[in-house]
Amino acid sequence: MQDCRQFYIDGSWKNPAITNDFAVINPANEQVIANITLGSSANVDTAVAAARKAFASYGNSSVEQRIALLEALLKQYMDRYDEMAHAISLEMGAPIDFSINAQADCGKGHIEATLAALKEFEFQRTLANAQIIKEPIGVCGFITPWNWPINQIACKVAPALATGCTMILKPSEIAPLSAHLFTQMVHDAGYPAGVYNMVNGDGLEVGAAISAHPDIDMVSFTGSTRAGIAIAKSAADTVKRVAQELGGKSPNIILDDADIDAVVTRGVKSCMSNTGQSCNAPTRMLVPESKYQQAISVAKAAAETVKVGNPAESGGHIGPLVSELHFNKVQAMIQAGIDEGATLLTGGTGKPDGLATGYYTKPTIFTDVNNDMTIAREEIFGPVLVMIPYNSEEQAIEIANDTPYGLAAYIQSADPQRAQRIARQIRAGMISINGGAHHYTSPFGGYKQSGNGREWGEFGFEDFLETKSISS
């Protein structure tokens, strides 16, 4: 069992003045694998003071100095890459092959993309009689979730370090092992004391203290829309900048000219990936009426090839949900779909056969769904797909946009120009056409209640910079 009860503040690991132990559970076997302690507002105060002090010098560091430090961090990450993958697999249940190939790759990808952007970024230019200067915003507070743990840490921390900001990180208390390992990497890379600080805790105590702290200049949060609203309200009193990547209910529009067998199969597997615990998962499959029965048959067959199993083993399967609390929420949403009259095509409530221990959930598909149902409107965050029929291209666009969210959307068509035309009409921040991948250099973020601001690559720099004009 790991002891992760220290916080990282002002360049060293420190014992909290008051311990408030919290058990970290392996979702695959429900066993305690580590202990952390939940911090307090006093711990936040200490960390913020260290970050404020460090900003006086780090905020004026040269681009060359920051490049050298990021390169050192990348080396530390690659030296302990496998350790990171295993930590993520243990803490949130990602199968080890998926953790190695996808989850842990995010840390590497974001540091590399940040380095490339930093080497090219224009921090100063002349416009008419003014020097336009981009300067670091100051002390940043980061609140990150458990579903892609190192992804959301790295895509905030790396650009903040690159632009000259200092920071305090509150990782998820449910999945903190990757954050502890990453923190040691930052330390070993040689960052000056106080530049990076990490305090464990829950949202009600540490998260709220970060959001409201008068000496924090910006807050970046990834998580639920509900929590994002609370953070924005808390931050308003100090008029700090708030960047948020929140929920999603992403449509997957299958057009009548698409290869139904191929695109439905791909859509099902994409929805189930990471056990459905991705904010940009294509959870609403929109299918033309003329192809609906064919799509249902293909979807059922595809879902029944999705295996559920032990994350310690490789094999292309999906693992458990992250926690008992989350398992119960997903089960309730599946039951809501049944109660509201949707047709359960496959899956359903309860655990898969042979998996009584662990927070495992059946891959589930509902048909005969309309866009007013709870399962079509609320983010389930589990391996649950809803299939919605439509009568015309215009109706497909209307259904796709009929959501409070606007993070991502997916379009499948044999006609690239048609797909591009529809993509322009979808109110979402990221559109994938025919399985197009989202690279670390592309902006990540959404419209409406999916948040504000953008992360990844050069687009992730802007939220960490102030713009100064000097005229002469």
Over residues 198-210, the pLDDT tens digits come to: 999 999 999 999 9
Q: Region 439-464: what's the mean pLDDT?
A: 97
Going by C-alpha positions, the residue among 392, 347, 388 that lies closest to residue 365 is 347
Of the residues 91, 173, 245, 379, only one is catalytic, namely: 245
Over residues 2-31, the pLDDT tens digits come to: 999 999 999 999 999 889 999 999 999 999
Over residues 362-421, the pLDDT tens digits come to: 999 999 999 999 999 999 999 999 999 999 999 999 999 999 999 999 999 999 999 999
Q: Region 123-142: what's the mean pLDDT?
A: 98
Domain covering 2-246+450-471 assigned CATH 3.30.420.40 in the classification: no
Give CA–CA dist 161/169, Å, rounded.
Answer: 12
Largest CA distance in the chain: 74
Task: For CA atoms 393, 395, 398, 403, give the dihedral sign.
Answer: negative
- Residue 245 token pair: 């990547």
Give CA–CA dist 223/328, Å, rounded.
Answer: 18
Q: What pLDDT sits at residue 17?
A: 80
Give residue limits of the domains in the chain. Answer: 2-246+450-471, 251-439
Q: Each residue of 348-372: b (16+ CB within 10 Å) or e? A: bbebeeebeebbbbbbbbbbbbebe
Chain position carrying tokens 């064919």 = 294
Burial degree of 91 (CB within 10 A; 0-12, 13-18, 19+) = buried
Q: Each residue of 377-392: b (16+ CB within 10 Å) or e? A: eebbbbbbbbbbbbee
286 touches 378 (CB < 8 A): no
Give CA–CA dist 371/233, Å, rounded.
Answer: 30
Give CA–CA dist 281/274, Å, rounded.
Answer: 9
Over residues 34-70, the pLDDT tens digits come to: 999 999 999 999 999 999 999 999 999 999 999 999 9
415 alpha carbon, distance to own chain's centre: 31
- Residue 424 token pair: 């322009």
Give, rounded to a whole angstrom, the gap between the first and last alpha carbons of the chain. Answer: 62
Task: For CA atoms 361, 267, 227, 438, give the dihedral sign.
Answer: positive
Fold of 251-439: Aldehyde Dehydrogenase; Chain A, domain 2 (3.40.309)
User: What are the angstrom distances between the C-alpha of 370 and each of 192, 248, 341, 363?
Assistant: 55, 17, 10, 20
40 alpha carbon, distance to own chain's centre: 25
Query: 2-246+450-471 and 251-439 share one CATH topology?
Result: no
Q: What pLDDT sits at residue 14?
A: 97
Q: Residue 268: which pLDDT band, with cuts at 50, 70 and 90?
A: very high
Does pLDDT of 152 surpass 90?
yes
Instruction: Indicate if 140 belongs to the active site.
Output: no
Give CA–CA dist 283/37, Å, rounded.
Answer: 35
Give CA–CA dist 428/447, Å, rounded.
Answer: 5
Give CA–CA dist 299/114, Å, rounded.
Answer: 38
Of the residues 279, 379, 455, 458, only one is catalytic, namely: 279
Instruction: Indicate if 245 belongs to the active site.
Output: yes
Does pLDDT of 428 surpass 90?
yes
